[in-house]
Amino acid sequence: MSLPLLLTQHMVRRPQRIALLLHIAEQGSITRAAKSAGMSYKAAWDAIDELNNLAKEPLVVRNVGGRGGGGAQLSAEGQRVLRLYQRLQALQTQVLEATEETADLDLLSRLMLRTSARNQLHGRIQTITRQGHNDRVRLQLAGGLFIEAQITHDSSLRLELEIGTDVVALIKAGWLELLGDGQPVTSGHNCLRGQIEAILDAKDSPSEVRITLASGQTLCAQAEPAQLLALQLQTGSPVQVQFAPSYVLLGTPL
């Protein structure tokens, strides 16, 4: 099984997050690993969520609420990623030693994908259905989950999308709507089911709600405290997350 190209690019661009994996393997604690990596506890959780979402299988297995902020360990896939990264470092050193023009490295850096979207999910295209000027793109995520994206047909052509193409689905946290377990889903919308992992309150802004899917991937949504209260949602509650296909942006490696 090969790693998605976007995860490999991410590893090269963000070595601090790979170092976090190494610290987790050594210390078995997110809190201690974050401190050793020079990251805040929240930043460490965000990093783990992003890496897990971009991989085909979770890299880190967490035990929420353990002593010292929760225990954690690398999965077999996470251990494999560390070994791969060591090989990539060696290759990168060879490339840097052979590169004479620093402008070439600057160009590559600008071309790498960066986004403000909190939710980045690796998927593979199953079907593309033409609907007038738009295309309906069905993606299979990790764990056998499916979502659909609606993009223009011109975008499909520009991204060179076809059946079997690996993509990253980008969804902003504010585009996700939370529903109580069993509450009806809006027709035509995507719906993913999971469990609320944590609710992080913020002053003068919506709460950040972390949701763990059955696949082990994590979604980050936003909700007002009053909305959570009305839906009787709290940490540990089952929850549905719905979002329109038009809110799903697609990214591909260059």
Same domain, 228 and 130: yes
* Whole-angstrom distance, CA of residue 155 vs CA of residue 151: 6
pLDDT of residue 176: 96
Domain membership of residue 45 as a residue range: 5-111
Same domain, 219 and 104: no
Q: How many domains does the chain have?
A: 2
What does the mean pLDDT of the chain come to? 83
Confidence of residue 191 (pLDDT cuts 50, 70, 90): very high
Structure tokens at 78: 């996470």
Same domain, 120 and 155: yes
Same domain, 253 and 228: yes
pLDDT of residue 7: 56
Same domain, 225 and 134: yes
Same domain, 134 and 209: yes
pLDDT of residue 95: 55
* Whole-angstrom distance, CA of residue 211 vs CA of residue 218: 6
Q: Which of 28-32, 52-56, 99-103 has the lowest mean pLDDT?
A: 99-103
Q: Mean of the pLDDT values across residues 80-88?
A: 78
CB neighbour burial string for 17-45, b if at least 16 within 10 angstroms, e if fewer? bbbbbbbbbebbbbbbbbebbebeeeebb
Confidence of residue 229 (pLDDT cuts 50, 70, 90): very high
Same domain, 85 and 142: no
Residue position matching structure tokens 């009787």 = 232
Q: Mean of the pLDDT values across residues 134-147?
A: 95
Confidence of residue 14 (pLDDT cuts 50, 70, 90): low
Q: Mean of the pLDDT values across residues 150-160?
A: 92
Structure tokens at 230: 């009305």
Same domain, 54 and 126: no
- The residue among 77, 111, 145 that closes a domain is 111
- The residue among 111, 132, 162 that closes a domain is 111
**In this structure, are residues 218 and 197 in contact, taking their beta carbons and an 8 Å threshold?**
yes
Task: With CA atoms as reference, report the closest residue to 74 among 57, 56, 53, 88.
Answer: 57
Structure tokens at 113: 């994908």
Q: Mean of the pLDDT values across residues 88-101?
A: 59
Same domain, 167 and 229: yes
Q: Mean of the pLDDT values across residues 102-126?
A: 67
pLDDT of residue 185: 95
Q: With a cut of 70, say whether residue 3 has pLDDT above it.
A: no
Q: Mean of the pLDDT values across residues 209-224?
A: 93
pLDDT of residue 56: 76
pLDDT of residue 1: 40
Confidence of residue 118 (pLDDT cuts 50, 70, 90): confident
- The residue among 111, 141, 172 that closes a domain is 111
Same domain, 245 and 122: yes
**In this structure, are residues 171 and 117 in contact, taking their beta carbons and an 8 Å threshold?**
yes
Residue 77 sits in a domain whose CATH number is 1.10.10.10
Q: Which of 7-16, 40-49, 159-168 has the lowest mean pLDDT?
A: 7-16
Same domain, 28 and 94: yes
How far, in Å, are 15, 54, 225 from residue 222 at the CA level? Answer: 29, 21, 10
Same domain, 157 and 233: yes
Residue 193 sits in a domain whose CATH number is 2.40.50.100
* Whole-angstrom distance, CA of residue 199 vs CA of residue 181: 17
Residue position matching structure tokens 């050793």 = 36
